[in-house]
Structure 1
Amino acid sequence: MAFRLDPDTAIKDPHGITWGMHPISWRNDDIPEVGAFNTLEDMLLDLADTGYAGTECAGFFPPKEEVKAAVEARGLKIAAQWFSSFILRDGVDAIVPDFEATCSYLEYLGATRVVVSEQTGSVQGQRDVCIFTNKPVLTEEEWPILAAGLNRLGEVAHAHGLELVYHHHLGTVVQTKDETIRLMELTDPSKVSLLFDTGHAFVGDGDVMGLLRATIDRVKHVHFKDVRPDKMEESRAAQRSFLDSFLAGMFTVPGDGTIDFTEPYSFLVDHGYSDWILVEAEQDPALANPLEYARKARAYIEGTLLAG
């Protein structure tokens, strides 16, 4: 096992893209018992061993000093962290202090992105609500309030050297292609960018490229997540929640599901994208060994995406 990322054996993207892997494959913040046996050190060792350059922060991480020391010891980087905003519920002024603290934390760790998702009315964490038929919908009056609030948070993020990348997400007020496009149109492009997630685009709209083509000029962070269509339809028929759908195997790593990543990857490259792409797959690590799936994703990345 490689105990530190070896530049000679790490994933090398000829277009300057940095490949990482999201911590959700090791441990899940929404259901703490899922992957509770995995530690930060377990994850970092797997990442270094499989040649990924870094990851995002998660709720199970220890204090920031320990995180920084552990990440640097393995030759890895922190790219970003999720922040749940409640602009519509609480008002942006109430959000700013916690957001400021998150940005300070990420600045200390050397991150370059802060991932924001508006969680007012969200059903993504409710296990008794079907993710396929229930989602909150913004009123006409709420759209400009959310946009103005995100612009404000974008200013805070920039003060800490970070890009605010908005995450379109199943079960939230900004899930669909049309909703995401509208949010991008209403927000200031100098303050708010987009995290493009293939898995959420596919499950939410049945289409990956439509959203990417429409928003490519705003994309500054990417998650490559695959979908198992049989498991998706099984969960839809069973009217499962988001959490129960991923526990049932709806998501997986690139190359193990139905999405052809050659098209979004080529489109990103053709438009000069050269930032992070993180492999992501909400799965139960007790059933889907993270190290095994990290290797499976790397084999697909190098054998299909980088071989073209």
Structure 2
Amino acid sequence: MIAAERVAGAPISWGVCEVPGWGHQMAPERVLAEMRDLGLAATEFGPDGFLPADPAERARLLESYGLRPVGGFVPLVLHDPARDPLHELSRVLDGFGGPGATVVLAAATGLDGYDRRPDLDAAAWRTLLGNLGRAAVHAAGRGHRAVLHPHVGTVVERGDEVDRVLDGTDVPLCLDTGHLLIGGVDPLALARAAAGRIAHVHLKDVDAELAGRVRDGRIAYTDAVREGIYRPLGRGDIDVPGIVGALESAGYRGWYVMEQDTVLTAEPPPGAGPCDDVAASITFLRGGAT
């Protein structure tokens, strides 16, 4: 379905997350080795502290595992006029190293985690859109491309909020198939309608029943992740082949990042754990049985 050289990993598939108290955090040496052994071509960087802060040391570490750098997820508060997001963005980009990375921005709430979020008024939306544009220009000036990631528990989650970003800026999107569905957006419809605005892809499959429970407030997002809302590709309710086909037909030639967010309670046994789900997803992407 997709050439292996365009399929990347993400540390969150191994439970490595920026949210305080998320769960057991695996060491980078094991995560990177399992990515390599699964045949992934590259990886996103993961949260602060997972990889070395020094860009040269970071590059050497990834190269030692045969992995190319993709870029990374950068949550920023964009809607608060009292906070300038460029200071934090500059600090993060100092670790990205050479040009060509993707800066996957999320419009953070300023709260810990992704279980609560405010609704913004018109003034806050103006600030958000303005700061998003500034962040994209700043990233471009450092040689990187910024995309906006609609994400559960941020201030850009629902369909109307995605539309405001598309209508109010020229910043491209990260199409995260799982977060979009949980937020009430059909990722296949968005891939067809806005293919020209999609510059990065996070592939997830999702249990639609659990997603509905998150949407209507019957379960918190983090609890839903613990219960397995994210499934190996082909074992959930998202039309992954349809989405990939729509993007490829429209000329998308970027990365497909494997992401099945997970919460770990302890270190998995050697040769088992999250890598099993990632392996099943890779098999599905390569057209094999799941």
Alignment of 1:13 onto 2:3: yes
Once the two structures are TM-superposed, the CA of residue 275 in structure 1 deviates from its matched residue by 0.7
Cα distance in 2 between the residues matched to 1:202 and 1:123: 22
Do 1:252 and 1:283's aligned partners in 2 also have CA atoms closer than 8 Å?
Answer: no
Report the counterpart of residue 249 of structure 2 in structure 1: 270
The CA deviation string for residues 24-61 of structure 1, in whole angstroms up to 9 with x for no partner, is 0112221456232x211111111111111111112222
Once the two structures are TM-superposed, the CA of residue 90 in structure 1 deviates from its matched residue by 4.6
Cα distance in 2 between the residues matched to 1:236 and 1:247: 16
The CA deviation string for residues 122-151 of structure 1, in whole angstroms up to 9 with x for no partner, is 67534xx5xxxxx42222233222111111
- Relative to structure 1, the CA distance from residue 125 to residue 236 in structure 2 (aligned partners, 3 Å threshold; closer, same or farther) is closer
Which of 20, 23, 38 lines up with 1:34 in the alignment? 23
Report the counterpart of residue 139 of structure 1 in structure 2: 121
Counterpart mapping for 1:240-259 below 5 A: 240-259=219-238
Normalised by the length of structure 2, the TM-score is 0.87
Alignment of 1:107 onto 2:101: no
Once the two structures are TM-superposed, the CA of residue 289 in structure 1 deviates from its matched residue by 1.3
Report the counterpart of residue 5 of structure 1 in structure 2: none
- Relative to structure 1, the CA distance from residue 212 to residue 33 in structure 2 (aligned partners, 3 Å threshold; closer, same or farther) is closer
Report the counterpart of residue 303 of structure 1 in structure 2: 287
Alignment of 1:48 onto 2:36: yes
Which of 103, 114, 121 lines up with 1:125 in the alignment? 114
Identity level (%)? 26
Cα distance in 2 between the residues matched to 1:142 and 1:214: 27
Cα distance in 2 between the residues matched to 1:86 and 1:217: 26
Alignment of 1:178 onto 2:166: no
User: What's the secondary structure of 1:80's corresponding residue?
Assistant: strand
Counterpart mapping for 1:58-207 below 5 A: 58-59=46-47, 60-64=50-54, 65-91=56-82, 94-108=84-98, 111-120=100-109, 124-126=113-115, 129=116, 135-187=117-169, 189=170, 192-205=171-184, 207=186
Q: Which runs of 5+ in 1 are unaligned?
A: 1-10, 130-134
Counterpart code for 1:161:
G
User: What's the secondary structure of 2:71's corresponding residue?
Assistant: coil
Normalised by the length of structure 1, the TM-score is 0.82
Do 2:182 and 2:214's aligned partners in 1 also have CA atoms closer than 8 Å?
Answer: no
User: What's the secondary structure of 2:174's corresponding residue?
Assistant: strand
Say which is worse superposed, 75-84 or 281-290, in terms of deviation. 281-290
Name the count of aligned residue pairs. 280
Cα distance in 2 between the residues matched to 1:236 and 1:158: 35
- Relative to structure 1, the CA distance from residue 206 to residue 84 in structure 2 (aligned partners, 3 Å threshold; closer, same or farther) is closer
Say which is worse superposed, 138-147 or 240-249, in terms of deviation. 138-147
Q: Which runs of 5+ in 2 are unaligned?
A: none
Do 2:20 and 2:113's aligned partners in 1 also have CA atoms closer than 8 Å?
Answer: no
Cα distance in 2 between the residues matched to 1:185 and 1:52: 35
Counterpart code for 1:149:
N
RMSD: 2.6
